Amino acid sequence: MTDFQRFPGRATTLGEGMQIVRLLPTLGRRTIGAWCFLDHFGPVNVAAGRGMRVGPHPHIGLQTVTWLLEGEVLHRDSLGFTQPIRPGQLNLMTAGRGISHSEESPAQRLPRLHGAQLWIALPESRRHGEPAFEHHASLPRVEYAGLGVTLIVGEAFGQRSPASIHTPLVGMELRARASQETQLPVHPAYEHGVMVLKGTATVEGQEIAPGELLYFGTGRKALGIETRDAATLLLVGGVPFEESILMWWNFVGRNREELVAVSREWNAGIDRFGRVNGYDGERIPAPLPPWAAEA
Ligand code: MN
């Protein structure tokens, strides 16, 4: 099969000036299953300065998946959770109808930070529901051929991640310690995206390095993954998301009016998003969408 696409990431900044690479959404691809956002940050030296600083900001209509290879991030949210996350652990925040949170490097920290934040669009049946937060300190791990597989969300290899999800999807870390070649079984009803966090790999004959996304359509039973040296990849997949979403800033909605209204609600400080306690800094105001009527 040749139905793959290669997408370059684009450099952007996160919070107070951290340089990151955004791989999704991108021109020509909005979603992979319900995955609607893929950010790769680092590896970056956070020994000097204040490290990651993303002040209180809101979300609706999505789940955030935070995954680290190195370092530590401290999450605080309007439900009252204050949760550090370290490599191999999962922070999963379900925004539902509204939540706010901050993310920062802790005061005492390792010099390097490296990870990814991914968003999952919530279906209509869940997106108006209550916000929630889960921390999973350990996740199912299996060895498959030459790859160490950590199941972040979803099911694979007879294992199921404890993370709560609301549409059929999967997310896993694939870690090669050395040269290897594996036919990794995948769900044929899922479309998939592959990003490399560390090292390089060849997936279905396509070389890939950090900062690029490879997309594979449905109908595949396996993905051939070859590495010549140690490498760490993220594989995301899911049944193509049929609902038409619209994203603005930190919001996943369905139409322009909703996104204007929710941006104004955050800026007006209404209760919907709660309050983040303990972050030493200002909340981030929502930029109004360009289609917002002057009023
Ligand atoms: Mn956020």
Q: Is residue 266 classed as helix, strand or coil in its secondary structure?
A: helix
Question: How many A from CA of 204 to the centre of ligand 1?
Answer: 33
- Taking the model in full, what pTM does it have? 0.97
Question: How many A from CA of 120 to the centre of ligand 1?
Answer: 12
CA 26/CA 11 separation, integer angstroms:
12
pLDDT value at 15 more than 90: no
Per-residue pLDDT reduced to its tens digit, 219-257: 999 999 999 999 999 999 999 999 999 999 999 999 999
Instruction: Find all residues with CB under 8 Å of 271, minimum gap 6, and list them.
Output: none
Question: How many A from CA of 57 to the centre of ligand 1?
Answer: 6
Closest by CA to 154, choosing from 92, 95, 200, is: 92
Question: How many A from CA of 1 to the centre of ligand 1?
Answer: 37
CA 263/CA 242 separation, integer angstroms:
25
Instruction: Provide the CA 63 distance to its chain's centre, in angstroms.
Output: 8
Closest by CA to 35, choosing from 256, 235, 209, 273, is: 235
Residue 126: its H or E element:
helix 124-127
Question: How many A from CA of 222 to the centre of ligand 1?
Answer: 33
Instruction: Provide the CA 139 distance to its chain's centre, in angstroms.
Output: 17
- Higher local confidence (pLDDT), 48 or 31: 31
Q: What angle do CA 110, 113, 119 make, to 5 degrees?
A: 140
The whole-number pLDDT of residue 245 equals 98
Per-residue pLDDT reduced to its tens digit, 57-73: 999 999 999 999 999 99
Closest by CA to 119, choosing from 62, 189, 42, is: 62
The whole-number average pLDDT for the span 190-197 is 98
CA 168/CA 66 separation, integer angstroms:
19
The whole-number average pLDDT for the span 290-294 is 83
The whole-number average pLDDT for the span 25-35 is 96
Question: How many A from CA of 281 to the centre of ligand 1?
Answer: 15
| Strand ordering across the sheet containing 62-70 | 10-14, 18-24, 35-45, 112-121, 62-70, 90-94, 132-136
Question: How many A from CA of 15 to the centre of ligand 1?
Answer: 10
pLDDT value at 171 more than 80: yes
